Structure 1
Amino acid sequence: MRDVVVVGSGGGGPVVAKELAARGLDVLVIEAGARHLRPEQEWTHLEDDMNNPITGKFRVGPSDLGEAPWDRDFPQSSYVWQIAGVGGTTLHFFGNYPRPPAGAFAGYEGADKGNYDTAHLFPFTYEEFRPYLRWVEHTVQVQTAPMGRKEAAFYRGAERMGLPHLTKKEPTGPCYRPQENAILQPQGTAGRSSDPKDLLHPQARGCTFCGHCFQGCMEPRKAPRNLKARQSTDVSYVPMMLTADAWSPGGKPAELITDAYVVKVLTDGGRAKGVVFRTPDGARHTVEAKVVVLSGGSVENPRLWFNSGLPNPNGWVGRGVTDHHLDWVVGLMDEEVGTSKGANSQARMDFPGYGGVENVGFGPALQAFALNFSDSGVAGAYDNGSGVGPQGADTVGRLVGPQLQDVMSNVDKLLTLLVVTDDDVQPENRVTLSPIIPPDENGPVPRVEMKYRARTARTRRNRDFLAARAVELVRAAGARRVHRINWPPLLLHIHSSMRMGLDPADSVVAPTGETRAVPGLFVADNSALANSAGGANPTLTAQALATRTAENIFSKYFGGSPWVATESPVAAIDDRVTAAVIARGL
């Protein structure tokens, strides 16, 4: 009998595991995908090697790349960009950790209150939540991003727009600022040289400005795993949960099992009592626990719930999925702005109640993918009736042929911006089980139903407003030509499929993080978010919520006391963590 079993080791599961292991609980984490123990040998900076959804190392599928990826059913034209494996989708995130706006929480009375999804707020105040945000920020060393040339161009455009420069973490109105990100600052030779011999730890520390965040962070070479620059959970929380005895008095290391797909949550008298997981040899194993935590993500958590036959009395399991209705704007500059260099996203504009706009720099393959991914036909040829619209771009739609060749002739002359909207909870956007695709070895497969042509007026307003601001910025920065791509459904940030809420009629999870229908079963990842976090990149919000949930588990089921208000957090780069990571080969 374990104290706690955590299903999934992506953005949320390792947070709960680290916090409870530090308090001496017996924690088991089960991950369906692989653990990349030697990223310097296993990974490359080549986009197709890492990101191909069929054959890439970062895909949703078993660790054996000779096997097919796991099936998912998309009845509409869309794509969910996620990863199975230790670290989950944080393996290729940008490390962006902005705080969510206060308007996404209960009790907010600001002048812009009506600009948010007020029917689906977080069931507590932002003031109550702030200490958990700070705890996570300290753990993963969130700092303002260093600036490079693409950020200087972004700043130039924002200044010419007349936006104020924010120097705080919590915007209350339109502004621009550096990203708050969990990427260790460049020190030593990092960021000062492109010679690989100069970029080895400890001579180089922190971000080396390689420009390949999306392919997983393995820089600086020879650094201990917890000192790799970008603090994805495989770099931060996973080493901490596995070394809890080294840095926390009374701590007990969590155990991690990989390549183990959880196929059922067990109950006894309606209460969670453990899980069944399947290993690659087809064998099934049972683990009993006092508490079960679902952290498999917004698609897999509802799938597991349905496949386990758990009760769904209000019909909201899998419903209310939100994402950040993304769009892409690119300006062709006469000057080189270093698009492919440095962390992929280091500056942003914020428009509370609407969302934000981030600068994004990629290598050539991902830039070309982004420019050729549209709902509006071919730029300059046909636009499927979308037109250029109020965004004021020169063209809208995918770039192909000579147009694409022209834009891609020098990737470092592109100033590219990502529109990230706030989004409304809608019950028809949901994850269920596929009636079409046959079950795989792990059971019935998930179906992701997103009614994109039925977006709310507020979400459409948010996207158009932010796209217009993005076009305005790149023009002000000096772009000679501006394209709006009008991305189709690309589900990069998805949340709320197991949403937390105040109203039992439209939520799966109570304010404590425990599911309403199954005592002893908690949810701790993006799927538990009450809404789309006001348009903020979701990792910080989800991890702060997971920290709060860990406190509630400890208090209710193990007789402990909350700690965030009374203790100081330990950083993932603490010397004690580093020593244990090196000694244990983690």
Structure 2
Amino acid sequence: MRDVVVVGSGGGGPVVAKELAARGLDVLVLEAGARHLRPEQEWTRLEDDANNPITGVLRVGPSDRGQAPWFRDYPQNSFVWQISGVGGTTLHYFGNCPRPPAGAFAGYSGPDAGNYDTAHLFPFSYEEFRPYLEWVEQTLPVQTAPMGRKEAAFFRGAEALGLEHQTWKDVRGPAYRAQENCILQPQGTAGRTSDPKNLLYPQAQGCTFCGHCYQGCLEPRKAPRNLKARRSSDNSYVPMMLTADAWSQGGRAAELITDAYVVKVLTERGRAKGVVYREPDGSKHTVEAKVVVLAGGCIENPRLWFNSGLPNPNDWVGRGLTEHHLDWVFGVMDDDIGASKGAGSNVRMDFPGYGGVENVCLPPALQSFAMTFSDSGINGVYDNDSGVGPQGADTLGRLVGPDLVSALSNVDNILTALVVTDDDVQKQNRVTRSVIIPPDDHGPVPRVEIKHRARTPRTRRNRDFLAAKAVEMVRAAGARSVHRMDWAPLLLHVQSSMRMGDNPLNSVLDPNCESRAVPGLFIADNSALANSAGGANPTLTAQALATRTAEKIFQSHFGGTPWVTTESPTTSIDDRVTQAVIARDL
């Protein structure tokens, strides 16, 4: 009998595992995908090799890339871009860690309070939540991003909009700022040379400006895993959970098993009592635990719930999926702004109640994908009747032919702006089980339904407002042409499919993230978020919520006391963690 079994090792699961293992609990983490223990040998910088959803190393599928990916049913034109394996989808995030606006939480009474999804607020105040954000910020650690030429261009455009320059962490009003991100800043030779011989640890430390944030982080080469630059959970929380006995007095190292696909949650007299997992050879194993924590993500958590036959009394399991209704605006500059160099997303504009706009720069193949992915057809050729306008841009929809060649002639001359919308939670957007695609070895596969053209008026308003601000910013920065893509539903930020709340009629989880229907069963990832976090990139909010959830588990099921407001966190780059990682070859 384990104390806690955690299902999934993406952004949230390792947070719970690390915190509970540090307090001496017996924690087992089960991950369906692979563990990339030697990324310098296992990963390449070839974009198709990394990101191909069928054969890429960063896909949703088994560790054996010769096998097919795990299928999902998309009845609409959409795609959920996630990753299986240790680190999960944090393997391709940019490390952006903005705090959510206070208006997404209960008790907010600011002048813009009515601009949020007030029917689906977090069931506690932002003031109560702030210490958990601070705990994660210190653990990762989170720092204010450094500036370069692309960031200076973005700032130039944002300043021309008359926005305030924000130099604090909490979101207080419309402003532009450097990102708060979890990328270790360059030291030594890092950032000072492109010669790979001079970019090896320990001469180089932190970000080496390779420009490949989206494809896992293996820089600087030869650095211990917990000192890789970008703080995806495989580089931060996973090393900490596996060495908890070395850096925490009374701690106990968590155990991690990979290629272990959980196919059923077990219950006894209505309470969670463990899980069954399947190995690639077909063998199944049962693990009993006092507490079960699901952290498999917004798609897999509902699937596992349904496949386990767990109760769904209010019909909200899998419902309320939000995904920030993303859009993409880019401008072609006359000058080289170094768009493909350094961390990809170091600056942003915040518009509380609407969402945000952030610079996201990519290597060439991914940049061309972003510039040709549209719900509005081909500019000047045909329109898909998407119902959106260019919002002042020169073109709307995909560029093709000479126009595309011209825009992509120098990727370092492109200033981009990703629109990240504060979506409304809508019951119609949901994850169920497919009746079209046959079950796989793990049971019925998930069906992801997004009513792309049936957004609420507020969500559509937010997207158009932010797109107009992005166009204005890029043009003010000096772009000679500006283009709005009207992205089709590319689901990069997914949240809320197993949402928490204070209303039992429209939430799965109570305010402690414990299932109301199945005591002893918790959820600790983006799917537990009450709403779309006010349009903030969701990882920091989800990890802070997972920290809070771990504390609640420790108190309610193991007789422990809270620690976030009484202790100081150990950072993931602490020397004790580093020495344990090296000694255990982690």
Pick the TM interval, shorter chain. Answer: over 0.9
Cα separation, 2, equivalents of 1:130 and 1:232: 21
Q: Does 1:518 align with 2:518?
A: yes
CA-CA distance at 1:48 after TM superposition: 0.5
User: Is 1:413–2:445 an aligned residue pair?
Assistant: no
Q: Give the aligned partner of residue 571 of structure 2.
A: 571
Counterpart residue identity of residue 354, structure 2: Y
Q: Distance in 2 between matches of 1:381 and 1:56?
A: 33
CA contact (8 A) 1:51 1:57 kept: yes
Aligned to 1:550: 550
1:349 and 2:372 aligned: no
User: What TM-score, normalized to structure 1?
Assistant: 0.99
Aligned Cα RMSD in Å?
A: 0.8
C-alpha distance in 2, partners of 1:9/1:313? 28
> What is the TM-score when the length of structure 2 is the normalising length?
0.99
The CA deviation at 1:441 is: 0.2
CA deviations 1:385-430 (Å, max 9, x no partner) are 4587361000000111211111111000000110000000111100
The equivalent of 1:310 in structure 2 is 310
Corresponding letter in the other structure for 2:428:
E
Cα shift at 1:468: 0.2
Conservation of the 8 A alpha-carbon contact between 2:390 and 2:396: no
Distance between the aligned counterparts of 2:277 and 2:575, measured in 1?
A: 35
1:384 Cα deviation (Å)? 2.9
Instruction: Give the count of matched residue pairs.
Output: 586
**Which residue number corresponds to residue 86 of structure 1?**
86
| Contact 1:388-1:395 at 8 Å conserved across structures | no
Pairwise mapping of residues 239-318 of structure 1 onto structure 2 (< 5 A)? 239-318=239-318
Show structure 1 runs of 5+ residues with no match.
none
In the alignment, the residues of structure 1 paired with residue 7 and residue 228 of structure 2 have an alpha-carbon distance, to the nearest angstrom, of 25
3-state SS, counterpart of residue 471 of structure 1: helix
- State whether structure 2 residue 103 is matched by structure 1 residue 103: yes
Structure 2 gaps, min length 5: none
In 1: Cα distance, 2:280 partner to 2:267 partner? 25
**Alignment check: 8 A CA contact 1:173 1:352 kept:** yes
Separation in 2 of the partners of 1:402 and 1:563? 60
Distance 1:145 1:324 in 2: 23
Q: Deviations over 1:44-72 (max 9, x none)?
A: 11110100000000000000000000010
Counterpart of 1:369 in structure 2 is: 369
Q: What is the distance in 1 between the residues matched to 2:387 and 2:395? A: 8
Q: Secondary structure at the match of 1:239?
A: helix
* Corresponding residue for residue 74 of structure 1: 74
1:531-572 Cα shifts (integer Å, max 9, x gaps): 000000000000000000001100111110010010000000
Query: How much does 1:164 deviate?
Result: 1.1
Contact 2:533–2:541 (8 Å) recurs in 1: yes
Instruction: Give the Cα separation in 2 of the matches to 1:150 and 1:386.
Output: 31
Q: What secondary structure sits across from 2:348 in the alignment?
A: strand
Identity of aligned residues (%): 79
SS of 1:62's equivalent in the other structure is coil
1:388/1:394 contact within 8 Å kept:
no
Aligned to 2:449: 449
Paired residue secondary structure (2:234): coil
2: CA distance, partners of 1:260 / 1:403: 48
Secondary structure in 2 matching 1:389: coil
Contact persistence 2:100–2:171 (CA under 8 A) = no
Q: 2:4 — aligned with what? A: 4
User: Which residues of 2 match residues 502-513 of structure 1 at below 5 A?
Assistant: 502-513=502-513
Q: Deviations over 1:134-189 (max 9, x none)?
A: 00000001011011110010011111111110000112111000000000011111
Q: Against the structure 1 CA distance between its residues 390 and 330, is the aligned structure 2 distance closer, same or farther, given a 3 Å change threshold?
A: closer
SS at match of 2:91: helix
Residue of structure 2 equivalent to 1:495:
495
What residue number does 1:478 align with?
478
- Partner Cα distance (1:568, 1:512) in 2: 22
The residue number in structure 2 matching 1:210 is: 210
Contact 2:434 2:447 in 1 (8 A): yes
Cα deviation, residue 511, structure 1: 0.3
Residue 140 of structure 1 corresponds to: 140
1:387–1:396 contact (8 Å) kept in structure 2: no
* 8 A contact 2:102–2:171 mirrored in 1: no
Change (3 A) 1:94 1:32: same
2-side partners of 1:49 and 1:151: how far apart?
29
Equivalence map 1:310-349=2 (5 Å): 310-349=310-349
Equivalents in 2 of 1:539, 1:225: separation in Å? 20
